[in-house]
């Protein structure tokens, strides 16, 4: 594997740890917990892992432990810092007993089921410290849901004498970890399962999880790119740039990028839904901002759009919900052509939703009716929302021009920042946070815990003051409809419109819309003053400040 000069220098960086994890620990147990919703149903589904206490680690006395092995799985989409979770776990496991071994399952949960694995040695681990990506063992989206998968998994876990399995993933992956932990506990198989909170979208957070790893680095990466575009925009002064960013189910990335870059317009999906805005309302909002800047002679600007916004427009959300149900019907599974599927949809949805469906641009309507993701939901990232909105804004401005209400010029450029942020070299914050999450997972294993997620809190303070521990995954769960059926899942965290980050944005956006108040964050810095290199996201700083 070729190594860049940055990677060589970065390999020498020793991530910081909370004081509690810098030596032996003792586990302090809090009160019993319950799920965030559907308590009776979740308790019935998870009788062996429900109601467990929150764990906090404090410095303790050394305890000699016999050798044991640990398995690790990277699940779902990539996020910066995954390799540091593995290196933290590796170092943590070895610190408990040098004879301990760490095995990585290849290409995600499928590696567990198919018995594809490799031992992670010190020599291998040292090549990947503080690097982006998941390429040390690869990732995959196989869902661990079936008894047959669990039983195939236990075969290889026993063969490798693995005591515990750590699953690094987002809300769906950690839901699978919870299901697996419950199954192995019910069967008394003696294998622990620990989760780690990963997703660049930032929607895996709650009172116990301050942020999911990778969010910090991804937002800083996208903000650098947006800043670069804004610098170009302010130099050429002839284009409106429509920039779509990751965030299917929540607008955390769009909001954080807006806080970092101060674009002229940033749409927040959750606000669109709360205000029951129509597609035309959204278009009019953008067009008004364009027209007002044109009055000042500024025929340029930037618009930041979360990729999932179309699903938050109430009429379209209602349509999509019915489409998901219709396309989950058994007879829909036998359809072989796109045209047949679209006709099937038209025949099976309600009159109200059919009217909405037929009002959409043909290409957008077709996309909504066609391919689904592994969870049975529309693949909104394939819908070019940035082009759809700019096209509709242009049409509205043309009408206004004819009416004498608009005097400007409207040229556009389009961008979608997605994969660019998923495998970036982790920021110092993510490097430290992820290493701590992995190291902490080793302590949860040593303390016999299963069905827990590794958590690190108080991360706006210096790393030595961070708080380490674990939270039962069942505590975060509720029931939601997936593929037409109610299933236990971890509740996603949406942007809170009464939260400090959104309130700060809302208080400044009129000024940003009118003025050219761009901020150019520049690239992620790894060496230098702490205020340049080690700062967490503005979102997290505002949230902590408000508490």
- Catalytic residue numbers read 201
The answer to whether 71 and 157 are in contact (CB under 8 A) is: yes
Burial zone of 337 (CB within 10 Å; 0-12 exposed, 13-18 middle, 19+ buried): exposed
Owner of token pair 């398995």: 71
Retrieve residue 407's tokens: 């005097």
Letter string b/e over residues 35-55, b meaning 16 or more CB atoms within 10 A of that residue's CB: bbebeeebeebbebbbbbbbb
Give the strand pairing for 55-59 and 467-472: antiparallel
The answer to whether 546 and 498 are in contact (CB under 8 A) is: no
The answer to whether 161 and 100 are in contact (CB under 8 A) is: no
- Residues in contact with 157: Cβ distance below 8 Å, sequence separation at least 6, in sequence order: 71, 112, 165, 191
Retrieve residue 198's tokens: 């990963």
The answer to whether 222 and 254 are in contact (CB under 8 A) is: no
HEC secondary structure over 222-291? HHHHHHHHHHHHHHHCCCEEEEEECCCCCCHHHHHHHHHHCCCEECCHHHHHHCCCCHHHHHHHHHHHHH
Distance set, CA 455 to CA 145, 209, 278, 461, 472 (Å)? 24, 6, 39, 15, 10
| Other Cβ atoms closer than 10 A to 484 | 12
Letter string b/e over residues 141-174, b meaning 16 or more CB atoms within 10 A of that residue's CB: bbbbeeeebbeebbebbeebebbbbbbbbbbbbb
| Other Cβ atoms closer than 10 A to 299 | 17
CA distance 321 to 376: 11
Please provide residue 282's backbone torsions phi and psi, each rounded to the nearest 5 degrees: -65, -45
| Other Cβ atoms closer than 10 A to 116 | 16
In DSSP terms, 26 is beta-bridged to 58
CA distance 445 to 166: 9
User: Residue 528 gets which letter from DSSP?
Assistant: S
Give the strand pairing for 412-417 and 240-245: parallel
| Other Cβ atoms closer than 10 A to 422 | 20
Reference 473, options 81, 185, 133, 79; nearest CA is 185
């Amino acid at each position: 594997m070729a190594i860049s000069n940055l990677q060589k220098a970065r390999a020498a960086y020793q991530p910081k740890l909370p004081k509690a994890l810098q030596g032996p620990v003792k586990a302090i147990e809090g009160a019993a917990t319950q799920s965030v919703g559907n308590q009776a149903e979740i308790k019935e589904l998870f009788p062996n892992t429900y109601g467990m206490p929150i764990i906090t680690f404090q410095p303790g006395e050394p305890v000699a432990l016999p050798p044991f092995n640990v398995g690790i799985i990277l699940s779902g989409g990539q996020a910066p810092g995954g390799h540091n979770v593995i290196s933290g776990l590796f170092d943590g496991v070895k610190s408990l007993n040098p004879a301990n071994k760490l095995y990585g399952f290849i290409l995600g949960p499928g590696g567990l089921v198919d018995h594809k694995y490799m031992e992670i040695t010190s020599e291998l681990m040292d090549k990947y410290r503080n690097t982006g990506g998941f390429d040390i063992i690869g990732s995959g989206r196989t869902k661990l849901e079936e008894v047959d998968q669990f039983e195939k998994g236990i075969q290889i876990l026993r063969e490798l004498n693995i005591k515990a399995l750590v699953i690094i993933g987002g809300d769906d992956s950690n839901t699978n970890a919870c299901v697996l932990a419950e199954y192995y506990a019910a069967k008394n198989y003696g294998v622990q399962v620990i989760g780690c909170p990963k997703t660049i979208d930032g929607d895996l957070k709650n009172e116990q999880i301050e942020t999911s790893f990778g969010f910090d680095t991804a937002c800083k990466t996208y903000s650098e790119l947006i800043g670069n575009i804004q610098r170009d925009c302010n130099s050429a002064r002839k284009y409106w740039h429509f920039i779509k960013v990751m965030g299917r189910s929540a607008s955390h990335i769009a909001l954080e990028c807006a806080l970092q870059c101060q674009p002229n317009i940033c749409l927040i999906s959750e606000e669109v839904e709360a205000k029951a805005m129509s597609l035309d309302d959204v278009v009019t909002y953008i067009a008004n901002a364009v027209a007002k800047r044109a009055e000042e002679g500024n025929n340029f600007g930037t618009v930041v759009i979360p990729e999932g916004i179309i699903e938050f427009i109430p009429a379209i959300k209602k349509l999509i919900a019915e489409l998901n149900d219709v396309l989950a019907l058994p007879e829909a599974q036998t359809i072989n052509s796109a045209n047949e599927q679209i006709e099937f949809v038209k025949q099976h949805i309600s009159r109200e939703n059919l009217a909405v469906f037929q009002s959409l641009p043909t290409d957008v309507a077709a996309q909504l009716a066609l391919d689904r993701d592994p969870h049975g939901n529309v693949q909104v990232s394939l819908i070019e929302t940035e082009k759809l909105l700019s096209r509709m804004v242009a049409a509205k401005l043309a009408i206004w021009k004819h009416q004498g209400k608009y005097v400007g010029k409207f040229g556009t450029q389009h961008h979608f920042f997605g994969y660019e942020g998923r495998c970036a070299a982790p920021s110092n914050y993510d490097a430290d946070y992820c290493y701590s999450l992995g190291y902490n997972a080793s302590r949860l294993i040593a303390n016999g815990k299963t069905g827990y997620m590794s958590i690190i809190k108080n991360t706006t303070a210096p790393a030595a003051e961070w708080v380490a521990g674990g939270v039962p995954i069942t505590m975060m769960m509720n029931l939601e409809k997936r593929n037409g059926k109610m299933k236990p899942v971890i509740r996603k965290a949406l942007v809170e419109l009464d939260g400090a980050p959104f309130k700060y944005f809302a208080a400044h956006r009129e000024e940003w819309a009118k003025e050219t108040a761009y901020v150019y964050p520049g690239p992620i810095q790894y060496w230098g003053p702490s205020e340049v290199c080690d700062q967490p996201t503005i979102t997290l700083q505002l949230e902590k400040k408000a508490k």
